[in-house]
Each structure stands twice: as structure tokens, then as C-alpha cells.
Chains A and B, each alone.
Chain A
Amino acid sequence: MSTDANSRTFFKKVVFDDWRQYKGVKEFPLSPDGDHHINAIIGENGTGKTTFAKGVEAGLNGSVPGESGDNGQAEPHVNSKVFDQLDDGDSSSGSIELHLSHKGTDYVITREFASRKEDGVCINSIDQNLTVERHTPSEGWEELSNPSKELARILPPEVQQYYFFDGERLDDLFKNDYEDDVRKAVWDLSHVHVLENVINHLRTLRDERRRTAKSSSGEVQEARDERDEKEAERMDIIHEKARVEQTIDEKESALTEIENKMGAAANDQVLSLIEERAELEAEIDSLVDTEEDLEDEVDRLVIEAGSICLAADALDTATEAFDDLGAQGKLPPAVRRKYLDGLLAEKECLCGCDLETHPDHRQNVEDLRNETPAINDRLIEASYEFPNTRTAGEQAFADLRETIRELRETTQERLKKETKVEDLTEQLRGHNIPDEIDLEDLDEQRGQLRTELRKLQNKQGRLEEQLDTVEGEIEALNQRIDRELDKEARSTELMREVNWYKRAREELVAIKAALMAEVRENIEASIETYFNTLTWKTEQYDITVQEDFCIRIDGPDRQRQVERLSAGETELLALSFIAALTEVSGFDAPVMIDTPLARIDQEHRAAIGSRLPDFLADQQVTFLFTDSEFDDTVSSALEGHLANTYKLENANRVTRFEDY
């Protein structure tokens, strides 16, 4: 403790108030003094050594180690003599105070406990809400608002097992399958869990972003394939339409040629019939076009009038409701509040005068505005639109009836003209024409051509409709491609994020592996140094911490199995391991070991005891010795290093102590 003692963490004092054997207030000063960094508390079995260690741990953690807390059969937390004097239903309480110095700042950790007698049995409790007071030169003593967090920062609960030991169980650390315990200890003390947390979080984030990227990846190619298919379909239609149009041209030429032949060979009467029939046919074509237009109009009107008809009742009800509101003055029919607000903003009256110069007009407009209910603009719109819609629906019905009538008349007119054409055709075919001209045959050919032409023209119309549809679909697909491209860009961005986390994680995995290897090597070197320093044997041991945290001990003659070491050797290894962990991690905490030499046989106890001062020379170490452990050899070995030494004695269930 000589080097920079103020920066270390150590107990300055432990104070028990009615804690088990420690009846009343018992105060144990423990501060180190220069190179004197070891405290020895000595007592026979049953004098309160383990109670002392348990008291310190209970003060820190709020529970007594090794005790299940089964109330009823538990040893009272308060002094048993005090407990015996309790009446049934009464309780008694006490406290544990730990005075700690951490990096030059003083703390007092206080935890209270109680024992209650119920039906003659003991019910123990330890207050989970401890208090932590801190002393600073500027502020003096202050109670911290978040004591548990502050204590966890100074002495994290997960590492306390490496600073507070029961010597009789110290060799448990190196029982079968000890490798996992060693790995966990290295892990807990080496801060590598910070890296592990980052690595795990980066992996989670990477996987999550990757899933999101996958779900939002664009289907550009699929949309492009569909668009290309439609484009091919469009080209097929265009080619087909061109072929039909060419055929129409050919048929029209053939028709003209036949009609020319018929005209050239015919007399005036026949020509007159041909002309009359041609005029009728032109009129029929025009009527067919009119019929198609009227049919389209009927379709449109059916949709318009039909939808309004379906909603007619609702429209009527709403209109009546609006009428009622209007009658109550709640729905201004003509002047809207918004309009009046606009006038006030523009400073212009309804009459056109300037409201700035005519305050009386301004007042009138404001009054009118204030009388006008502030109702939603949409409601006002609806009050106008609903009756209009109803009227529009009725008009659409009237138009529909008129259009159907017109269509029926047009059809009748066309049918009449077609009958007349048939009559004229009969007449034409009955006339005599020069021998070389077969008028009947020509006219049949003409009729056939006209039929074919009509079919071709229909087909041309259908192809034009198909072309419009396909071009609309192509336009929609192009828009979809744009959207998919946007999604793909988003997905690319997400994949950049995925790649970023991936690279960050890879770097940290490499750092962690290198760091763990280095920590392992340093622990290995440190264990070896401590083991060879503490051992009573003259030979040197070569100690290796393997990748699986298996510890290998090579002596000059043979390799030793950790599991087959003697109890003394195992304890030696445990002490060396603890010292190595502390040294390598740089973590700083006071060490407390109950009965450190209990498992060491008499022959070797003196040898280890004489070397204990070299153990953790920079930290406060408190040993709780039995009388037999603290023999002359150990006592003289520690003499120049002891800071505080106390002798415990127990009489009549009460421990007393004095300087040794």
C-alpha cells in the first residue's frame, strides 16, 4: 500500500451495532499505515470471525452469504441475547457501517437489519435500501441520492466473489470443470464484457438492418420484365393494326374497282340506282357511328344516375338536416364567416367603403361576422352540394331516358335504310347489262367486300382500343419501375449501414481476441510469479493458462494436474490466481479472506504464512485467522506488515475484542 495509497480502495473502519455476537456498538479500525497493509483478526472457532466477514458482505449486498434466509430456523441477525429478551411480536434492529476510502474520497455505507419474534421463532430482515454518504473537502458529508448505483460503481457485485473468500472453500475454485470459473473470473475482471456487449449489439443491429433491407429491396427487374412484355404486346398490336389497315386499303381499292366496272357498264337508270344505294349506305354508316356514340352515352349516364340513385335517401336526409340548421340560423345560406373575415382583413366593407375610415361600418361587419356561426367550411360546401347532387342525379335520369329514346329512333332509321338498300340491290341485280358484264356477280362481290371491310374496320377499332389499354398499362409499369428504383436506392442505403456495422464488429472481434490472448498471457505470467513466490518448495513451476482456460503446471520433473494438487497447493494456486486477476485487471478492491490457512497442513502452513506479506502488496488484505493459523511463524512473518491486529473472544454469546 506504500505506492499512492490514497488512490487505492480500502476499509477505514467497520462498525457493527448489535450484529449477532457483536452486541452493542463494536468499531474495528482497519486503515492501512504505509507499508502495513495487512489486517489480522484472530480468534478461536465460534468467536465471530465468520460473522465479521458475513457482516461486511451483508452490509454491501443486503444478504448474508451462505444463508438461505429461511426464517423461523435462522440465527437472529441481532444479538441472540437481545433477541431472547424480546416479547412475542416485538422486534429489535441494528446496523452495519462500512467506512471506505476510494480514490481519496471517503464513503460511509450503512445498512440496517432487524429480527422479530413471532410465535417464538425468529423472522430476520435486512433493509434493501442502504445509505451511502460521501465526504468531499468542498461539500463535507452528503448523502447520495442513488446509493446502490454508487456502491456498484466502487465495488461491482459481480466481482465481489474475487475479493471476499472463505479460506476453507478457497480451493473450490479449482475443483472439476474449473475452466469455466476461471474464464468467467477473467471475463468479469478484464472489462472485456464492454467489448462483448458492443459486439453483440452490432451483430443484432446488423442482422436487423439486413432484414429491413431485404424486405424493402426493390423489384425493379420484375417490373422491367413486365414492362418489356407489355411493350412486345404493344408492338404486336401495332403490327396487326398496320396489317388490317393495309387490308382495308386493298379491299377499298377492290371495291372502287368493282364499282367503277359496274358504273362503266350501266345505263343511266342503273347508275341512278347505284348512286342512290351508295348515298343510303353512307347514311347507314353515319347512323351506325351515331348509335355507337349514343350507346357510350347511355353507359356513362347509367353510372352517373345510378350512384346518385343509390344515395338518394341519404342525400335527402342530409339536405333536410341542412335545411333545419339553416332555419335555426346555424347554417348561413349566403354569407360565410370566412368571407366576412376576408373583408375585415382587407379593410373593405360590403358596400365598398374603407373600413379604416368608417368605424361604424367596421362595427357592423364585425357584428355580422360574430353573429355568423363559426362552422366548418366543408359543412357549408356540403349544404350547397347535397341538393345540387340530388338535382344532378335527377337530370342524369332524364338525360338517360332521352338518350335511350334517341338510340332507339336511330336504330329504327338505320334498319329502314338497310331495307331500302336491300330493295335497291334487288332492283340493280334485275337489270340487263351487256353480255361481257355479269352485274349480279359484280354486285355480290361488292356486297362481300363491303361486309369484309366492315369487319376489318371493326377489328381496326378493337385494335386501337387494345393499343390504348396496353399503352396505359405500360405507363403504369413505368411509374412502378420508378417506385421500385426508389426502394432499391433505400435498400442500397440500408446495406451500406449493414456493411458499416459488419466492419465495426469485425474490428472489435479481432481486438477482443487479441486482448483476451494478452490478458490470458499476463495472468499466466502473474500466476506463475505468485505461485513460485508463495510456494514452500524450492523448485520452480512453469504455469500455462491454455486457450480453454485449462491451467497446466509443469514442475522440473513432471506435469501436475490441477485436480490432483494437494489442498495446500490448490489454495496456493487460488491465492495466486486471485492476485494475478487483481494485478492484470487493474481492478482495485480490499481483499478479505476468512481462515486463509485452514486447509494447509501444519508442515506447510508456516512456509505459506511466511510468504503472505508478499501477497497483494499493493492492496489492503484482511485475514481472519484461527489461533492455530496465527502461530509464531505466521505472526513473525507478518509482523512488519500488519496495520491492525485484533483478538476476538466470545463469552456468554457476546464477542469482545482487543488489540492483539
Chain B
Amino acid sequence: MNENINEEITNRIENIEDEELQSFLLKIVDYERDVLAQKKPHYKDEYRKLAKPHLDGGDGE
């Protein structure tokens, strides 16, 4: 295990095969880290904004 669990979380997400899903998860986890550091607004708008390019580009399956 990494000394830093945050890095471990990132590594595990990077191991997800679906690159679209992987990219989305990295972004929302980063966003939540920023939220914990009190830098970001409400999550729903941000999640939907981050999901949109993936939904527009792929079939979401």
C-alpha cells in the first residue's frame, strides 16, 4: 500500500479498464478532495457537468 492512501485511491481508479469511466471517476474524486478543502460549489452541478462529455461521446454502457 502506498504511504498516502489518496494516491492508492487514484492508482486503483487508474486500473479501471473503461477509460471513459476511469476519467470521470478521477475527476469527481479530485472534485471531492477540493470540496473537503472547501474550494468547490455544490456537487450535483459539477458531477453532471463532468458526466456530460462522457455521455455525449459514448453509449454510457
Contacts and interface: CB of A to CB of B under 8 A. Distances in A.
A484 B34 CA distance: 42
A500 B44 CA distance: 14
A15 to B, nearest CB: 29
A522 interface: yes
A149 B38 contact: yes
A500 B4 contact: no
A312 interface: no
Nearest to B29: A198
Given A198-B32, A496-B60, A507 B37 contact: no
B53 to A, nearest CB: 12
A514 interface: yes
Interface string A485-511: 000000001001101110110011001
B51 A500 contact: yes
A130 B36 CA distance: 21
A192 interface: yes
A493 B52 CA distance: 11
A586 interface: yes
Nearest to A522: B1
Contacts of B6: 191, 194
Interface centre among A153, A500, A514 (most CB of B within 10 A): A500
Interface in B10-61: 12-13, 16, 21, 24-25, 28-29, 32-33, 35-38, 43-44, 47-48, 51, 54-55, 59-61
A197 interface: yes
Contact of B9 (A152, A194, A585): A194
Contacts of B35: 197
A515 interface: yes
A89 to B, nearest CB: 40
Interface string A567-600: 0000000000000000011100000000000000
A110 interface: no
Nearest to B52: A497
Interface in A343-361: none
Interface in A104-158: 149, 152-153
By secondary structure, the B interface counts as helix
By secondary structure, the A interface counts as helix
A314 to B, nearest CB: 49
A190 interface: yes
A519 B16 CA distance: 20
Contact of B1 (A153, A191, A204, A519): A519
Nearest to A496: B60
Given A496-B59, A504-B28, A586-B5, A511 B21 contact: no
A375 interface: no
Nearest to A193: B36
A515 B54 contact: no
A205 interface: yes
B31 to A, nearest CB: 8
A296 B45 CA distance: 59
A504 B58 CA distance: 14
B7 to A, nearest CB: 9
B5 A503 contact: no
Nearest to B39: A149
Given A198-B32, A497-B60, A511-B9, A586 B44 contact: no
Given A149-B38, A198-B29, A499-B61, A515 B5 contact: yes
A500 B16 contact: no
Nearest to B33: A194
Contacts of B48: 205, 497
A191 B60 contact: no
Given A195-B9, A507-B21, A586-B4, A500 B55 contact: yes
B47 A202 contact: yes
A518 interface: yes
A514 B8 CA distance: 11
Given A497-B51, A586-B3, A504 B12 contact: no
Nearest to A204: B44
Contact of B5 (A190, A205, A208, A499): A190
A194 B60 contact: no
Contact of A201 (B5, B37, B47, B61): B47
Interface string A613-643: 0000000000000000000000000000000
Given A149-B38, A584-B1, A586-B3, A504 B61 contact: no
Interface string A183-200: 000000011111101100
B8 A515 contact: yes
Contacts of B55: 493, 496-497, 500
A522 B28 CA distance: 27
Contact of B25 (A190, A205, A507, A519): A507
A198 B59 CA distance: 22
B9 to A, nearest CB: 6
Contacts of A152: 38
B37 to A, nearest CB: 6
Interface of A: 149, 152-153, 190-195, 197-198, 201-202, 204-205, 208, 493, 496-497, 499-501, 503-504, 507-508, 511, 514-515, 518-519, 522, 584-586
Given A507-B21, A511-B12, A514-B12, 20 more contacts: A191-B9, A194-B9, A194-B33, A195-B29, A197-B36, A198-B29, A201-B47, A202-B28, A202-B47, A208-B44, A493-B55, A497-B51, A503-B21, A504-B24, A504-B28, A507-B13, A515-B5, A515-B8, A519-B1, A522-B1
15 contacts: A149-B37, A152-B38, A194-B36, A197-B36, A198-B25, A201-B28, A201-B44, A201-B47, A493-B55, A496-B59, A499-B61, A501-B47, A501-B51, A511-B9, A515-B12
Interface of B: 1-6, 8-9, 12-13, 16, 21, 24-25, 28-29, 32-33, 35-38, 43-44, 47-48, 51, 54-55, 59-61
